[in-house]
Copies of this chain bind each other. A is one copy, B any other.
Amino acid sequence: MPKIVDHEKRKIKIAEATWKVIVDEGIENATVRKIAQACGLSVGALRHYFSSQTELLHFSMGLVSERVIERLKRRKISKDQISLEFLMEGVSEVLPINEERKREMEVWLAFSAKVLVDTKLRELSNKVYKDMHQGFENVVQALKLLNIIKDELDLDLEVNRLHAIVDGMAIHHLLNPEQFTHDKMIETLKYHLQSLCK
């Protein structure tokens, strides 16, 4: 069914153009008209793929988290190959460590601010929060499987803590890259994960 594939591919192209408009001009300027222009479509043609701006933003936001989750899934390896190093790299995948990830995070931050005033986006934001939280739970559980996590730790609270540290650092680096540099971010992450280990 090439037509359906094309339709989906085109939607992804439009979502990527949406990210670009959001990053370059701010989410308040991400109008249907501007996004159509950015992908060389008429407003009418764009409406064929997305009937409203909300639907378009919803899809674009969903694509950011899908990409992150896809990247993490691609890293799946057998249990006996898991190491602290491997988990560290996995967590880094959700930090703004390069231009691609920075763009994703910028789009995410713009969306997050919009979630506060747009209840339709909130549901998706909650779903992504849950997915990410599950990812951090997997990391903590893997440390346990490896039998390197300190016995006295409260694993539920460790998941909250890891999730908060990662998102907090991501925002600090994104907004203050000169003060909270890439190297400081990675060093702090390593320090945190090591502090959980025996």
Contact = CB atoms under 8 A, between A and B. Distances in A.
Contacts of A125: 175-176
B188 A116 contact: no
Contact of A116 (B106, B116, B126): B106
Interface residues of A, number: 47
A188 B160 contact: yes
A14 to B, nearest CB: 20
Given A166-B168, A172-B129, A180-B160, A25 B117 contact: yes
Interface in A19-57: 23-29
A167 B174 contact: no
Number of copies: 2
A1 interface: no
Given A113-B113, A157-B191, A179-B129, A118 B172 contact: no
Contacts of A184: 160
17 contacts: A24-B117, A109-B112, A109-B113, A112-B113, A112-B171, A113-B113, A115-B175, A116-B175, A126-B178, A157-B191, A160-B180, A160-B184, A161-B192, A163-B168, A166-B168, A167-B172, A171-B171
A164 interface: yes
Pairs A-B, 3 closest by C-beta atoms: A28-B28, A168-B168, A164-B168
Nearest to A126: B176
A169 B166 CA distance: 10
Given A125-B176, A164-B164, 18 more contacts: A24-B117, A26-B113, A106-B116, A109-B112, A109-B113, A112-B113, A116-B174, A126-B178, A157-B191, A160-B184, A160-B188, A161-B191, A163-B172, A164-B165, A164-B169, A167-B171, A168-B171, A171-B171
